[in-house]
């Protein structure tokens, strides 16, 4: 890494390209997802080493329910596998896992595995790994608005007191700084319903590298590019 690289506090990642990675190699799509777990392990370790405080990854969106039933079932099995088999690695690196999204709507086996993972890493004080599972940013915003509306109706909130900070506290990411940098491997150039509110002033780095091939080196390049940006936060 370049010595004067400015490290972002919070890096968000859309883990894209697993299926295309597998297809181009004549492999079933599930192999791409399996290799994606390996990439997540490496990138999480690298982010921790490089001083990143929070990493939020897009693991399973609400739109993913439209995929083939066998692939969805495998993704849930992979969720259980990750929760059980990555625990030692996460503990070794002092990583605390949080799950965001409507993950409690998942099948019981996956839900219980994610709950156990959060509990077992809760005391860790290093990097926070947010797993966005069954996540939709629009649904997250709807949830926040309904929560505020209920309090307004109950008379516990003055509508004139509603501000950015109040909305942020009703999101899944409450208490976490907004992402400084969002990385999307896989060659696409869109947010795909991920952290739409939180990413208002986030720097974006798009990569043509498929997620299963995304490595520490690619993360370092993205951080180096981030450090060259002049952030204006909406100013001129």
Residue 85 among the catalytic residues: no
**Given a cut of 80, is residue 74 above it in pLDDT?**
no
CATH of the domain at 216: 3.40.1180.10
Q: Label residue 62 left, alpha or beta by phi (over 0 means left) and psi (-120 to 50 means alpha).
A: alpha
Q: Which parts of 32-184 are beta strand (E)?
A: 54-61, 96-100, 128-135, 181-184
64 or 32, which is more confident? 32
Residue 77 among the catalytic residues: no
Q: How many domains does the chain have?
A: 1
pTM here is 0.92
- Locus of tokens 């986030």: 202
Q: Write out the two tokens for 160.
A: 């004139």
| Domain contains 195 | yes
Percentage of residues in the chain with pLDDT exceeding 70? Answer: 97
Catalytic residue among 64, 93, 124, 193: 64
Catalytic residue among 4, 16, 120, 178: 16
Question: φ, ψ for residue 28 (rounded to 5)?
Answer: -65, 155
**Given a cut of 90, is residue 76 above it in pLDDT?**
no
| Domain contains 184 | yes
| Domain contains 123 | yes
Would you place residue 14 in the very low, low, confident or very high pLDDT band (cuts 50, 70, 90)?
Answer: very high
| Domain contains 74 | yes
| Domain contains 167 | no
**What 3-state class would DSSP assign to 10?**
strand
Would you place residue 220 in the very low, low, confident or very high pLDDT band (cuts 50, 70, 90)?
Answer: very high
| Domain contains 36 | yes
**Given a cut of 70, is residue 187 above it in pLDDT?**
yes
| Domain contains 4 | no
CA 46 to chain centre: 16
| Domain contains 122 | yes
Q: Give the integer Cα–Cα distance in Å for 45 and 89.
A: 9
Structural domain boundaries enclosing 93: 10-136+179-228
Residue range 203-232: mean pLDDT, rounded? 95
Q: Which helix (H) or strand (E) holds 60?
A: strand 54-61
């Amino acid at each position: 890494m370049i010595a004067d690289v400015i490290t972002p506090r919070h890096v968000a990642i859309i883990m894209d390209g697993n299926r295309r990675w597998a297809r181009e190699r004549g492999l079933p799509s599930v192999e791409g997802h399996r290799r994606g777990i390996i990439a997540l392990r490496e990138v999480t370790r690298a982010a921790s080493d490089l001083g990143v405080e929070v990493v939020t990854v897009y693991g399973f969106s609400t739109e993913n329910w439209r995929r083939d039933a066998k692939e969805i079932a495998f993704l849930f099995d992979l969720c259980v596998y990750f929760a059980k088999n990555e625990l030692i690695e996460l503990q070794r690196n002092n990583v605390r896992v949080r799950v965001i999204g409507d993950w409690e709507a998942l099948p019981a086996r996956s839900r219980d595995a994610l709950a156990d993972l959060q509990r077992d890493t809760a005391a860790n004080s290093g990097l926070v790994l947010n797993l966005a599972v069954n996540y939709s940013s629009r649904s997250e915003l709807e949830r926040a608005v309904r929560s505020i509306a209920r309090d307004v109706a109950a008379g516990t909130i003055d509508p004139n007191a509603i501000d950015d900070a109040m909305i942020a506290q009703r999101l899944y990411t409450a208490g976490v700084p907004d992402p400084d940098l969002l990385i999307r491997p896989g060659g696409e150039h869109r947010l795909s319903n991920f952290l739409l509110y939180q990413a208002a002033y986030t720097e974006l780095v798009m990569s043509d590298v498929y997620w299963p091939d995304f490595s520490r080196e690619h993360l370092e390049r993205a951080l180096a590019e981030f450090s060259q940006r002049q952030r204006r936060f909406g100013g001129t």
